[in-house]
């Protein structure tokens, strides 16, 4: 039996196309000509289950690994689809082909067989066109599938079919590069996840990626970006209107800029086009709650679609709290929604810097301050963003603790951007942060639960929001700085929803923070605001060094001094 006895493939039942069931322990079929042929009933677990196979994809991977480890090349014969194959399954099947070919480069050959007619028209079109393509380790099969479905979409007039086709084409956008990155990521992080025998070594994986993508300098930054996050985020702007007229807000508040339900659904589809399981959709504005029916529809639509796709969605609703009544809260608490609330502090501060659009109605009276008990009683996860205006920076510590005393125990401070801070204002900012630090330490010592959100992440002196953002009209931007209507607004445009691009591409090729800064503010303003941001960063560094984290003393280190 020689080497063949050591192959760990005995649990794989192999069905030859001629009905013969070779004995997996026999060396003849495995080593003849140093090429083994595995005839499979499918390359997707659902297809294998439907076909009554008593092995799954993990077993197939184990078999190929065992054979390849012995220098045996493998031909996999498998149908790409059966009668019930769905478009998602077909994408996954071709993804599996590419993943296997990338894991065992040069060792695998795929042959399709089967003459069944898939019921699904999209799948049938792909099978008819013959989408399997051995080029570039079979990653081009995914591109061919996209081309076939794109052509079909162009010829489709039925709206329901068009929406499905658009989603499928979006999902396949940039798929070959993502397949290569996924393979490299497994090697890089030594992830076994579903790959018996483990991932490829890092060096051969790098060499393979370079052979497919070119010089490492050209793609390493993008690869790092690809690996950076485990949740894909998309921001929707349901409306540009707002009840407030904050002094530092440049968003033009026209009526009529309201997202339609159709754009909202397509924005959700964009978010769900990711390869990742976790998807976060944020509703921003304007005041997102002014488009309440659109927001409700988008979330319920996302919930249904995510369930069908096996995704885990979550939502962030950014709100000034004006219209946050019990009815909305009780609807939201039944869903995985987090509230990002805004309040700048006490009555004087709020009314001065975040005035209402109507003279007769006071901002503070309609803010989260007056809705605090209902918000807190709802149990919905929330945190408050407090913007500090330089001309009011002396009041920052008092405003911070005013918000905390309203019962909002998770607070983030944003120093106002887009305006030059004077030296005196900057010095006051530094003093104020230290007062807040002292206050926090004292409250933590008394057992109060309170969190300074800025300390949760590594501080960056000035970071703009670069999230993929779908505006009310379906234009897609890199970040929300476009809301300021600057002369550089067009530079933030990535595409429109009609462009059929996938969200992962936007993320991988995301605009650098320094470009966002250059396009958002004048250089003198940016430099000044970065300097102010550095004070926050230095304060956080100091607190961390003293043994504090965002919600109190770090468990291990403990504080080394009583106060900053």
Contact of 175 with 142, CB cutoff 8 Å: yes
What span, in angstroms and rounded, lies between the C-alpha atoms of 307 and 296? 17
Q: What angle do CA 552, 555, 561 make, to 5 degrees?
A: 60
Nearer to ligand SF4, 370 or 435 (CB): 370
Considering the complex, what minimum distance in angstroms separates the CB of residue 351 from ligand SF4? Answer: 13
How many CB atoms sit inside 10 A of residue 553's CB? 15
Selection from 334, 300, 292 nearest residue 317 by Cα: 292
Our CB check for ligand SF4 shows the closer of 342 and 529 to be 342
Cα→Cα distances 193→48, 100, 182, 196, 197, Å: 20, 14, 12, 8, 10
Query: 257 in helix, strand or coil?
Result: coil
Q: Rounded CA gap, 271 and 276, in Å?
A: 10
State the nearest-atom distance from the C-beta of 287 to ligand SF4, in Å.
Answer: 5
Comparison of 3 and 347: residue with beta carbon closer to ligand SF4: 347
168 vs 464 by CB, closer to ligand SF4 = 464
Number of helices (H), then strands (E), in the chain: 20, 15
CB of 482 to ligand SF4, least distance (A): 14
CA distance 172 to 273: 8
User: Taking the C-alpha atoms of 70, 71, 77 and 78 in order, what is their torsion angle to the nearest 10 degrees?
Assistant: 60
Run of H or E including 492: none
Q: Work out how close the CB of 246 gets to ligand SF4 at its nearest, in angstroms, rounded to a whole number.
A: 3
Give residues in contact with ligand SF4 (CB under 6 A).
242, 244-246, 249, 251, 285-287, 320, 342, 354
Name which of 252 and 407 has its Cβ closer to ligand SF4: 252
* Residue with Cβ nearer ligand SF4 (484 or 505): 484
Q: What is the DSSP string of 82-123?
A: -TT--HHHHHHHHHHHHHHHHHSTTTEEEEE------SSHHH
CB of 248 to ligand SF4, least distance (A): 7
CB of 350 to ligand SF4, least distance (A): 11
By C-beta, is 320 or 412 nearer to ligand SF4? 320
CB distance 332 to 377 below 8 Å: no
Please state the closest distance from residue 411 (CB atom) to ligand SF4, in A: 17
Residue reference for tokens 């944020």: 282
Q: Residue 285 Cβ, how far from ligand SF4 at the closest point, in Å? A: 5
Residue 377: count other Cβ atoms within 10 Å of its Cβ: 12
Measured from the CB atom, is 285 or 533 closer to ligand SF4?
Answer: 285
User: Which tokens hold the place of 356?
Assistant: 């209402």
Minimal distance, residue 197 CB to ligand SF4, in Å? 53
- For the beta sheet containing 73-78, the strands, ordered from the edge strand earlier in sequence to the opposite edge, are 35-39, 73-78, 108-112
Number of other residues whose CB lies within 10 A of the CB of residue 268 = 27
Q: Which is nearer to ligand SF4, 251 or 264 (CB)?
A: 251
Q: How far is the CB of 393 from ligand SF4 (least distance, A)?
A: 18
In this structure, the chain runs to a length of 564
Which one, 371 or 505, has the nearer CB to ligand SF4? 371
Per the CB < 8 A criterion, the answer to whether 338 and 412 are in contact is: no
Query: Among residues 138 and 482, whose Cβ is nearest to ligand SF4?
Result: 482
Tell me how far, at minimum, the Cβ of 484 lies from ligand SF4, in Å.
10
Give me the least distance between CB of 342 and ligand SF4, in Å please: 6
Distance, CA of 43 to CA of 58 (rounded, Å): 10
SS3 of 459, please? coil
DSSP state of 189: T
Indicate the DSSP class of residue 58.
H
Q: Are 431 and 535 in contact (CB under 8 A)?
A: no
Q: What are phi and psi of 329, to 5 degrees?
A: -60, -40
Q: Toward ligand SF4, which CB reaches closer, 247 or 438? A: 247
């Amino acid at each position: 039996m020689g080497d063949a006895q050591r192959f760990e493939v005995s649990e794989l039942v192999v069905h030859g196309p001629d009905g013969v069931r070779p004995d997996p322990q026999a060396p003849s079929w495995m080593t003849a000509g140093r090429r083994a042929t595995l005839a499979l009933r499918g390359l997707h677990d659902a297809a294998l289950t439907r076909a009554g196979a008593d092995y799954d994809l993990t077993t197939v991977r184990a078999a190929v690994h065992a054979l390849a480890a012995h220098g045996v090349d493998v031909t996999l014969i498998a149908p790409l689809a059966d009668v019930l194959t769905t478009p998602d399954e077909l994408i996954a099947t071709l993804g599996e082909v590419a993943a296997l070919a990338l894991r065992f480069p040069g060792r695998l050959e795929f042959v399709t067989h089967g003459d069944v007619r898939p019921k699904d028209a999209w799948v049938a079109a792909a099978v008819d066109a013959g989408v399997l393509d051995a080029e570039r380790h079979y990653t081009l099969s995914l591109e061919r599938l996209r081309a076939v479905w794109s052509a079909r979409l162009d010829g489709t007039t039925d709206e329901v079919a068009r929406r499905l086709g658009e989603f499928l084409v979006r999902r396949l956008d940039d798929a070959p590069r993502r397949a290569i990155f996924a393979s490299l990521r497994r090697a890089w992080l030594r992830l076994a996840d579903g790959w018996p025998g483990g991932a490829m070594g890092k060096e051969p994986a790098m060499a393979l990626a370079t052979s497919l993508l070119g010089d490492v300098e050209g793609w390493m930054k993008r690869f790092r970006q690809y690996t950076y996050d485990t949740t894909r985020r998309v921001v929707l702007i349901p409306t540009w209107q707002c009840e407030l007229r904050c002094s530092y807000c440049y968003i033009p508040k026209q009526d009529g800029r309201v997202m339609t339900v159709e754009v909202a659904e397509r924005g959700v589809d964009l978010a769900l086009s990711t390869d990742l399981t976790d998807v976060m959709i944020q509703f921003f504005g304007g005041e997102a709650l002014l488009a309440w029916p659109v927001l409700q529809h988008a979330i319920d639509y996302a919930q249904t679609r995510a369930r069908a796709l096996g995704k885990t969605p979550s939502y962030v609703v950014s709100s000034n709290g004006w219209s946050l009544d019990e009815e909305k809260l009780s609807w939201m608490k039944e869903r995985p929604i987090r509230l990002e609330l805004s309040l700048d502090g006490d009555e004087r501060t709020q009314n001065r810097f975040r005035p209402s659009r109507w003279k007769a109605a006071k901002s503070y009276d309609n803010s989260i301050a007056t809705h605090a008990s209902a918000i807190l009683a709802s149990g919905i996860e929330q945190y408050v963003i407090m913007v500090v205006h330089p001309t009011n920076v002396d009041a920052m510590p008092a405003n911070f603790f005013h918000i905390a005393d309203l019962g909002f125990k998770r607070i983030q401070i944003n120093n106002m951007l887009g305006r030059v801070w004077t030296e005196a204002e900057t010095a006051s900012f530094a003093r104020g942060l230290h007062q807040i630090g002292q206050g926090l330490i004292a409250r933590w010592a008394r057992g109060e639960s309170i969190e300074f959100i800025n300390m949760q992440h590594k501080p960056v002196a000035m970071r703009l929001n670069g999230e993929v953002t779908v505006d009310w009209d379906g234009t897609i931007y890199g970040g929300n700085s476009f809301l300021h209507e600057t002369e550089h607004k067009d530079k933030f445009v990535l595409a429109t929803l009609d462009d059929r691009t996938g969200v992962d591409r936007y993320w991988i090729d995301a605009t650098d923070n320094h470009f966002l800064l250059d396009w958002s503010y004048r250089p003198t303003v940016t430099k000044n605001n970065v300097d102010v941001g550095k004070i926050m960063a230095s304060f956080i560094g100091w607190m961390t060094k003293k043994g504090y984290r965002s919600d109190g003393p770090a468990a291990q280190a403990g504080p080394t001094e009583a106060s900053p």
